[in-house]
Amino acid sequence: MSIIIDGKAVSKKILEEIKLETENLQNKPCLAVIIAGNDAASKIYVNNKQKTAGYLGFESIVKELPEDISQNSLIEEVEKLNRDENVHAILVQLPLPAHIDSSKIIESIRPDKDVDCFHPYNTAKIALNMETTLFPCTPAGIMLLLKEYGISAEGKHAVIIGRSNIVGRPLSWLLLNNSATVTVCHSKTENLADFTKNADILISAAGKPEFVKKEMVKEGAVVIDVGITRDTDGKIKGDIDFERVKDKASYITPVPGGVGPMTICCLMKNTLELFKKYHLKT
C-alpha cells in the first residue's frame, strides 16, 4: 500500500503560516498578474491566484489584455509594473498568444520582481545552485512535498518526464542540487520505460492523461504527477494511471489535490519573499 501525498493539506498549512506572517506586516505584499488572451484554463488559474492572494491579505492586481495585443505593448505593460513601487511580484500567465515571443516578455520582467523565477538571470542562479530562497513554483512545490513527507532525494535516481522551462528543466536542477542522480526524458526519448522503470523518484509532467502505466514504474518508487488535463468527460486527469500505479508506489500524488495546490502555495510564498527582500532587505 502506498502513502497518498496530500498536497492540499501541506499547501493549507503553509498558506496559514503566510497569512499569519502577513497579518503582522505594516505594508502588504502586492502580486501583479498579466493575462493576455482568452485561454479558459489560464483564466481559471489567474482567478485562483487572485482569490488566494486576497485570502492571505495580499494586494493583487490583474491586468487582462486582449488576444491581439502587440509584443511591444505587452512589454510596455510589464515595464509599467516594473516601475510601480507598490508592486513587489510580477507574473505573466503562460501560454501567451502565438504571435508573442514569450522569452522576450519574460526577459522584460525585472529580475527582482520575477515571482516565477523564469528570467534568465534567476534561472542561471538556480541552475548554478547559487539561489537559496526563490524557485519556480511547481518545482519548488514538489521539493516541499518531498521534504514534508521525509523523502530525501540524495543518491536517488530521479527520472523526470518533460523538459519544459516551467517544470522539467528547473526541477532537474533542484533535484541535482539536492544530490539526486537526474534523468530528464521528453517526447523524443526512445524506450521511455527503460528509464522510468529505474526511477526511485518518478515525476511526470507530460500533460498526457494516464499515460504512465503500472509496468513503467519500479516497485516502491515515489511517484509525482504534475499533469492536469481535462478529459473529454470533463474530469481532471493526471499523467499517471493512479488506480493501478498506487499499489506499486511507496508514495504517490493524486490529481487533483497533489502538486496543483503546491504551485499556488509557492507562488504566494515567493510573493512574500520578494516583498521581504524589498521592504525588509532580507
Size of the residue set binding ligand GUN (CB under 6 A)? 8
Which C-beta is closer to ligand GUN: that of 18 or that of 228? 228
* Beta pairing, strands 30-36 & 89-92: parallel
* Residue 92 interacting with ligand GUN (CB under 6 A): yes
Residue 91 near ligand GUN by CB under 6 A: yes
Active site residue 43: no
**In this chain, which residue has its C-beta nearest to ligand GUN?**
94
Least separation in angstroms between CB 236 and ligand GUN: 15
Check if 49 is active-site. yes
Note whether 239 and 225 are within 8 A (CB): yes
Backbone phi, psi, residue 245, to 5°? -75, -25
DSSP state of 111: G
Catalytic residue among 6, 113, 114, 116: 116
Q: Which is nearer to ligand GUN, 196 or 204 (CB)?
A: 204
Helix, strand, coil tally for the chain in percent (to 5):
45, 15, 40
**Quick check: is 116 catalytic?**
yes
Options 9-17, 86-94, 127-135, 188-196: segment touching ligand GUN (CB under 6 A):
86-94
Please answer whether residues 210 and 236 qualify as being in contact, where contact means their C-beta atoms are separated by less than 8 angstroms. no
User: Residue 204: which residues within 8 A CB-CB, separation 6 or more?
Assistant: 160, 161, 162, 211, 212, 223, 224, 225, 226, 227, 238, 239, 240
For residue 98, the minimal CB distance to ligand GUN (Å) is 15
∠ Cα 96 109 56 (to 5°): 85
For residue 116, state whether it binds ligand GUN (rule: CB under 6 A): yes
Inter-CA distances, 54 with 20, 65, 137, 242, Å: 13, 21, 19, 33
Residue 94 in contact with ligand GUN, rule: CB under 6 A: yes
Q: Which of 11, 22, 52, 93 binds ligand GUN (CB under 6 A)?
A: 93
Q: Which is nearer to ligand GUN, 119 or 218 (CB)?
A: 119
The catalytic site residues sit at 49, 93, 116
Binding residues for ligand GUN (CB under 6 A):
91-94, 116, 137-138, 166
